[in-house]
Structure 1
Amino acid sequence: MHPRIAVVGCGQWGQNHVRTLAEIGALAAVADRNLERAEAFAERHGVPAMEPDEAIASPDLDALVLALPASTHGPVARAAFAAGKDVLIEKPIALDVADAELTAAVASKAERILMVGHVLRFHPVFQKLCATVAEGRIGTVRHIIANRMGLGRFLGMDVVWDLAPHDLSLILKMAEGMPLSVSATRRTVLSDATDIADIVLEFAGGLKAEVHASRVSPYRDRRFSVIGTKGMIVFDDLAPEGEKLALYGHQVWRDGEVFGFENAPVTHLPVSPGLPLDRELRHFIDCIVHRRQPETGADEAVETVRILNEASPLG
C-alpha cells in the first residue's frame, strides 16, 4: 500500500510529478492555487483537486510534493510539517540560508521526512558512475568538472540558481562533504542577469570541483567528468544510449621533474535502465514507509542554498 501523496504546483515540472506518481499508483490529489488547472490534471488521473491549504490540512494525505516558486517553498513546507506531512521539495528549497535552515529545523522537530528534488542524483548513469568510482577504478578522485550549457531558460532567475543546483548536488555526493571555500565568476551577456557562471569549490583533502553554467551557449553540453589518479570517468547526458558513461584509463606519471602521460581507449560502461524521476519518487516513498533519511535530505538542501548564495547573492 503506497502512501497517499499530493502534488502541490502544476507547472512544467509539477506536471511530471503528477504523471509519474500516477504511474506508480501513489497520486492521491493534485493542488494548485489555480484550481481550474488542478482540476484538469486531477480529472485526468481520477483524483481530487484541492487548494494548497486544503492539501496541507487534509487527513487523507500522507505526504506532499512541492513544485512551487522557490520563494514559497519554505512557508508551505513548514505548514505541511506542522500538519504531520512528509515533504519532497523541488530545488532549491529556499532563496536564502536562514529560510532553508528554518525549514530543516521544523522538519526535524516534527520528525517528518524532508527530501529535496535533485533528480539527477537518481539518474542510473550517475549512480553507476558513483559505484565505479567506489570500486577504485579511477583511483583517488582529484578533480570534478561539470558543464551545463545551452541556449534559453530566461525565467527571471539567473543561471547560477537555475542550472547550477543540479551539478552542485552531484558534486556534494562525490565529495562526501561540504566545501571549504566557494568562488565564482559571473557574466551578463544577453539578459539583465547572470548568463554565464564559473563556480569553483575546494574540499578537504585537496579535491576541487568546477561548474561551468551558461544559458547563452551556441551548443549544448551536459557532461560531468571525474578525474582520478588512475583514470577518468565521464557522464554525458546528451550522448546516445549505451554511450552515456565513458571510462578512460588515461595515465599520468612523474619521473623526477618530468611528467608523462598515456592515452587509453574509451570503454563505455553498461547501465541498467531507469527513469530518474521515477527512481526519485520511489525513493521518497521508501523513505516515508520505512522512516529513513533520504539520499538528498535536509543537510544537502541547506548546503546547496548556502553555495548558491555564495556564488550569486540575491538581493
Structure 2
Amino acid sequence: MTERDVPAIAVIGAGYWGANHARTLRGLGALVAVADRNAERAAAIAAETGTVARTPAEVLADPDIDGVVLALPPQFHAENALAAIAAGKHVLVEKPIALKIEDGEAVVAAARDAGLIAMTGHVLRFHPAFEGLMDLIDSGELGQIRYIHSHRVGLGKFHPENDALWDIAPHDLSLILAITGEEPSRVSGEGTAVIDHLSDFAHLHLTFPSGLRGHVFTSRLNPYRERRLSVIGDKAMAVFDDVAPWAEKLQLYPHRVWREDGSIHFESAEPVYQPIPEGLPLTRECAHFLHCIKTGEAPRTPVSDGLAVMRILTAGMVRHQS
C-alpha cells in the first residue's frame, strides 16, 4: 500500500453506478483514476471528479493504486476481479460478483489466498435504517424472528444480460442473510418474462434450517415504486421502508398476537418511528472499504457474502414463465 493517509482507489466502470462511486470516493479523498473501455465516458467522469482517465490495464499495472472499485456489467465482474487480485489490488465488486457459481468461488478463493480485502457492493447493509433494524433484532425487541418478506418493485432498469431476479433481489437477499446468519436450506422461485426472454418479475421462497421462512418479490415492470423489508417477530414487527421520508424509514409495530381459550387474538398498534442518524449508504460503504484496506479488518460484506447470494439466485429460478 502506498504511504498515504487515505488509500488510493480507482473506479473501473464509468456508467451510472461507477460515476456515483467516483463522486463518493472523490469526497473521501481517495479517488485517483477512472477507467472504462469507453474512453470518452471515462474522460467525462474523470473531468467531473477532478482526476485522470486511464485504461483498466494501466490501473492494474500502477503500483501506487491500492484498490479498485468494479462497477461493470455483471458478466465482466469476475474476470476483472480476478485480474485486480492478481495485480495485488484490494477490490470492491458490485453485485452480483459473477453470474456463474464457479466464477464466484474463484473470486472468493483468489482473495483469500492473496490476503487482500475483497468486498461485495451490498450497499444497503450500510444504510443507517438497516443498522437500526439490526439493533432492534439484536436487542430482542422483536423477540424470535419468524418470517421476513421483502418487496422491491418499480419501473426499470432493463439490462440485456440481467433479469429482475439477478439485478434486484441481491439487495434484499444480502439483508435477509445478515438477519438470519444462515443460508436457506430450501429455495423455490418463479420468474415471469413480459418484455422479452428475461424475467421482469420474480418470486423467491426461502426456508432456513432454524425454521424461519422468507419471501422476496422483485419487479422492474411495476407502476409504483416500493422498497420495503418487513421482519416479523413473536414480540413485535419492524419495517425498513427506503421510500419513506427519513424520519419514517424504520418503523416498529408493537402488535400483539396470542392464543387464549382456543382462539387466536390480536391487538394492532400504530407504528413507532425509530430515530436513525442521517448518512448516505454509499459513502458509508466506501469509507468502510477504505478503513478495511488501512487496518486489515475483515469487511462487513466480503465476497463470500456475494457468493452466498449467488447460490440462492441459482437455486431459486426453478420455474420460468413467459
* TM-score relative to the length of structure 2: 0.95
Matches within 5 A, 1:1-315: 1-156=5-160, 157-255=162-260, 257-312=262-317
Aligned partner letter, 1:294: P
Shift of 1:313: 7.2
Aligned partner letter, 1:6: A
Shift of 1:70: 1.1
**Cα distance between partner residues in 1 of 2:14 and 2:223:** 31
Shift of 1:179: 1.0
Work out whether residues 187 and 312 of structure 2, in 8 Å CA contact, stay in contact via their aligned partners in 1. Answer: yes
SS in structure 1 of the partner of residue 239 of structure 2: strand
Shift of 1:172: 0.4
**Cα distance between partner residues in 1 of 2:144 and 2:163:** 34
SS in structure 1 of the partner of residue 307 of structure 2: helix
The answer for unaligned runs of 5 or more in structure 1 is: none
Work out whether residues 96 and 306 of structure 1, in 8 Å CA contact, stay in contact via their aligned partners in 2. Answer: no
**Cα distance between partner residues in 2 of 1:5 and 1:51:** 14
**Cα distance between partner residues in 1 of 2:125 and 2:175:** 6
Q: How many residues of Structure 1 are paired with residues of Structure 2 in the alignment?
A: 314
SS in structure 1 of the partner of residue 176 of structure 2: helix
Give a deviation string over 1:110-144, Cα, whole Å, max 9, x none.
Answer: 11111000111111111111111111111111100
Shift of 1:207: 0.7
**Cα distance between partner residues in 1 of 2:318 and 2:259:** 42
- After the TM superposition, which parts of structure 1 deviate over 4 Å for at least 4 consecutive aligned residues? none
SS in structure 2 of the partner of residue 64 of structure 1: strand
Work out whether residues 4 and 26 of structure 1, in 8 Å CA contact, stay in contact via their aligned partners in 2. Answer: yes
Work out whether residues 29 and 48 of structure 1, in 8 Å CA contact, stay in contact via their aligned partners in 2. Answer: yes
Work out whether residues 9 and 67 of structure 1, in 8 Å CA contact, stay in contact via their aligned partners in 2. Answer: yes
Give a deviation string over 1:26-71, Cα, whole Å, max 9, x none.
Answer: 0011111112221222233332211001111111100000001111
Shift of 1:256: 5.1
**Cα distance between partner residues in 2 of 1:103 and 1:168:** 20
**Cα distance between partner residues in 1 of 2:278 and 2:292:** 22
Aligned partner letter, 1:270: P
Shift of 1:298: 2.3
Aligned partner letter, 2:258: W
**Cα distance between partner residues in 1 of 2:50 and 2:269:** 55
- Cα–Cα, structure 1 residues 186 and 45, in superposed 2: closer, same or farther, change >3 Å? closer
Mean CA deviation greater in 49-58 or 187-196: 187-196
**Cα distance between partner residues in 1 of 2:51 and 2:218:** 39
Work out whether residues 160 and 311 of structure 1, in 8 Å CA contact, stay in contact via their aligned partners in 2. Answer: no
Work out whether residues 190 and 317 of structure 2, in 8 Å CA contact, stay in contact via their aligned partners in 1. Answer: no
Work out whether residues 247 and 275 of structure 2, in 8 Å CA contact, stay in contact via their aligned partners in 1. Answer: yes
**Cα distance between partner residues in 1 of 2:156 and 2:43:** 30
**Cα distance between partner residues in 1 of 2:219 and 2:48:** 37
- Cα–Cα, structure 1 residues 45 and 195, in superposed 2: closer, same or farther, change >3 Å? closer
Work out whether residues 120 and 301 of structure 2, in 8 Å CA contact, stay in contact via their aligned partners in 1. Answer: yes
**Cα distance between partner residues in 1 of 2:145 and 2:108:** 30
**Cα distance between partner residues in 2 of 1:59 and 1:310:** 40
Aligned partner letter, 2:99: L
RMSD: 1.4
